[in-house]
Structures are given as structure tokens and as C-alpha cells.
Amino acid sequence: MPSRRRSGRPLEPGVRFIVAHDTGNPGSTAFQNARYYASTANAESTSAHLFVDHDGAVECVPCVSASPPEKAWHVRYDVPKDDALFGVNANDAAIAVEYCYGAGIDADRAYANYVAVLAWLCRTYGLNAAVQIVGHFVLDPGRRTDPATGLARSGRTYEQLLRDVAAAMAPVPEPVRDTPQNARFRTSTRLNLRRRRPSRSAEIERAVAAGTELSSVAFTDDGENINGIARWYRDAAGSWFWSGPLERID
């Protein structure tokens, strides 16, 4: 139903790019943001297509359920950068995707979902993640810092986001070069075990609490570099875990 937040008009000339946002409201979930948008639909005009958190994505302005997507109001018309980069205004030709972060949000799962949603949109609309995803702070640097602020709260960077989305779009990931090694460790912090790839953007297989003992059958030094440490270990089930918080106990 049309409102101040939803014009009901389609993106024209179609989807040309994606604007990456964060909510600027730490601790708020995708559902909470969507509910607020709905309750203030005729009081406020700012809008976004999707909110993403650790539980998944919530659509506020149709971009998945409708073709073509509707317009959303998420970048000021008087900023010139979107026209300079893409030849069109973001509100007229871009999908807005909001990242949820902060207390109560599982940062690893929320980030993995954010990457997956952006990759899906790029595949669906034939976009190049390296050049057709742009942060709100790039378009409006005098007023906005998103999504860099939200990503930083989750231990990531904007540049990493673009790399991870591009990697997620690759049909077949390159094999990880690893070295056989049987070893046992104890983790000093909560640790996520990742499926298939030694990276925080990979799907979480399971999480273990601090003090958990883990066994490895191989390691790689070509995993995601976190705080200067790129070594990851693989267990017998094929899950990867970062070496940073590990103490060897065998």
C-alpha cells in the first residue's frame, strides 16, 4: 500500500547498483526495524528495501517479491556522487540493503547473511560486486558513515565486504591448500567453526564455548587474515577454525 515510505513506483531504468547501508541503531534486529518502518509509514519518508541480521533478511520495500522492484528513499537527491558513478540517482535505480549490528546481534551470522543477500542480488540483477555495490558513506561522505561503522563494530571493513561478496558469487571456490597435521587445542574464547572455507564469511557449522578442546587433521596459512594471523585448522569433519584463540595441548 502506498505511503510516505513506499511510493509504489518501480525502479527506473531498473536495478543499476546496490547501496550498502547499516541501520545506525545498534542492537536493533531486522524485524524490529521493519516493524518500526511499518508503524511510521505515513510519518517518515526514509526507507530501505531489506534489513539483514543473524536470523535472515526482512523485506520492507519490494525487491525480492516484486519485479521490477519498487523505489525506496535511502540517499538524498541533492548528493551528486551516485549520478557521477552510475549516471542515475540511487533512489531511482538502486536497491538499499541495511546491515544490523551491535549488542544482541550475532555479528558473524549477520555478516554472513549480509554477504549472502548482496551476492544473491548481484546474481539476480547481473551486477558486478566489485563496482556495482557502493557504501552510503561513499555517496554522502559529509553526512554518512554506513556501512563502515556497523561493519567495524563487527570486526570487518567495507573493502572486505566487497571482496567477500565477490568470493561468494564464485560458482566453485578454489581448493584450500592445506598441510596434514594432527593436533589438539583448547580455545580461550567462543569460536565458530566454518564450512568449506577458512573465512568468517563462510557459513557457520557450529559454535563452541571457551575452554572447548578441538582436534585438527590439517592447517592452512592461506585463510582469512585476522589481526595478522592467517592460520586456520581443519577438523576431521571438514570444518575450519581460526588459530588466534587456540592453545595447543598435545
Q: pLDDT, tens digit, for every residue of 164-220?
A: 999 898 766 678 899 999 999 999 999 999 988 999 988 898 999 999 999 999 999
What pLDDT is attached to residue 172? 60
Q: pLDDT class for 5, splitting at 50, 70, 90? A: confident
Supply the pLDDT for residue 6: 85
pLDDT for the residue 28: 98
Sheet holding 17-22, edge to edge: 56-59, 50-53, 94-99, 17-22, 133-135
DSSP state at residue 42 = T
Would you state the pLDDT for residue 1? 60
Residue 188 to residue 49: CA distance in whole angstroms:
39
Domains in the chain, please, with CATH? 17-169 (3.40.80.10), 179-248 (2.30.30.40)
**What's the pLDDT at 20?**
98
Q: Do the bridges between strand 191-195 and strand 133-135 make them parallel or antiparallel, or are there none, so unpaired?
A: unpaired
The pLDDT, as a whole number, for residue 12 is: 86
Tell me the mean pLDDT in the region 127-154.
96
Mean local confidence (pLDDT), 50-62: 96
Over pLDDT 90: what percentage of the chain? 82
64 or 42: whose pLDDT is higher? 64
Higher local confidence (pLDDT), 248 or 13: 248
Alpha carbon separation from 11 to 70, 76, 158 (Å, rounded): 5, 16, 26
Other C-beta atoms lying within 10 Å of the C-beta of residue 12: 10
Please determine, for residue 70, whether its predicted confidence score (pLDDT) is greater than 80: yes
Percent of the chain whose pLDDT exceeds 70 = 98
Overall pTM > 0.75? no
